[in-house]
Amino acid sequence: MIIQALTLTLRLAIMVSAILLVIGVPLAYWLAFSRRRWKFLVEAVVSLPIVLPPTVLGFYVLVAVGPLSPVGRWYQALTGHTLAFTFEGLVIGSVLYSLPFAVQPMATSFAAVDRKLLDASALLGASGWRTFWRIVLPLGLPGVLTGAVLSFAHTLGEFGVVLMIGGNIPGATQTVSILIYDQVQALDYATANRTALILLVLCFTMLAILYGLRRRGVWNVWEWK
């Protein structure tokens, strides 16, 4: 039971941080360098999940992927079932929920790259694309890694959104945090204790590695004046 929930949780977290790497990096780049006047609106939307109760976010996602919305209907026509109460639905909800945790450190580290380096790159004939791959991304890598790890950790500990969208189906949508809730509801404190401990140790180890690497300067290899 625990093993099953644990594998599912890890699978979810890995997928979420992989997806967030793919969509978070360009989004963060845009946020860091765009001069659009309405950029602040996008910034606000990206940060929403930090302040919104997970239930609110979960509720909207549930409605959006359910059979009543165009997206939900389209998906149902395509696959024969709705996204609600499936692993895919969980992934979508978790990606949205962890978006700011991935995008914010990435955008911060991209914006911190010295603009003079970007000018220098352009003056040496580099296209914007080349400047991104050779200058912005390598120098912003610490932020990208931080974003990926934070979104991974955040997904591990998520509860409200998962419960709203996924429900509590063992093997399909039952993550560790929901399993613990289940066990406590069943007054099975001993098992709940063990499960909680596993999650605690896992999260602590990850954050310890993250901050340890940071302290030893491994992630700041390019910091230079």
Partner 1 sequence: MSGATTSPPAEQLTLRLKKRFRGDSEFVLDVELAVAAGFTIWFGASGAGKTTLLDCIAGLRTPDEGTIAIGEAVLFDSQSRVNLPPRCRSVAYLLQSLALFPHMTVEQNVQYGLAALNQRDRDARSGEVLESFRISSLLQRRPNEISAGERQRVALARALVTRPRVLLLDEPLTALDAVTKARILDDLRAWNQRHRIPILYVTHDREEVFALGESAIVLEGGRILARGSPHEVLHRPQSETVAQLAGFENIFAGSVTGSHPEYGTMTCRIAGSTLDLEVPLVRVNAALPLCVGIRAGDILLASSKPQGLSARNVLDGTITSLEQRDMKVIAVVTCGPEFEVHLTLGARESLQLKPGARVWLVVKTYSCHVLQ
Q: Which of 1, 68, 117, 209 binds partner 1 (CB under 8 A)?
A: 117
Q: Determine if 36 is a binding residue for partner 1 (CB under 8 A).
A: no
Q: How many C-beta neighbours within 10 Å does residue 87 have?
A: 16
Q: Does 145 bind partner 1 (CB under 8 A)?
A: no
Q: Are 162 and 155 in contact (CB under 8 A)?
A: no
Q: Contacting partner 1 (CB under 8 A), which of 35, 37, 216, 225?
A: 225
Contacts of residue 128, Cβ cutoff 8 Å, sequence gap at least 6? 122
State the Cα–Cα distance between residues 225 and 211, nearest whole angstrom: 22
Give yes or no for residue 127 binding partner 1 (CB under 8 A). yes
Residue closer to partner 1 (CB basis): 71 or 120: 120
Q: Extract the tokens encoding 7.
A: 């594998």
- Pick 35 or 225: Cβ nearer partner 1: 225
Q: Does 211 bind partner 1 (CB under 8 A)?
A: no
Q: Which one of 10, 56, 111, 122 is in contact with partner 1 (CB under 8 A)?
A: 122
User: By C-alpha distance, which of 68, 20, 47, 55 is closest to 162?
Assistant: 55
| Contact residue for partner 1 among 120, 169, 207, 209 (CB under 8 A) | 120
- Does position 80 interact with partner 1 (CB under 8 A)? The reply is no
**Block residue for tokens 């999650």:** 199
Q: What secondary structure, in 3-state letters, does 23-55 show?
A: HHHHHHHHHHHCCCCCHHHHHHHHHHHHHCCHH
Residues of this chain that interact with partner 1 (CB under 8 A) are: 114, 116-117, 119-127, 130, 134-135, 138-139, 221-222, 224-225
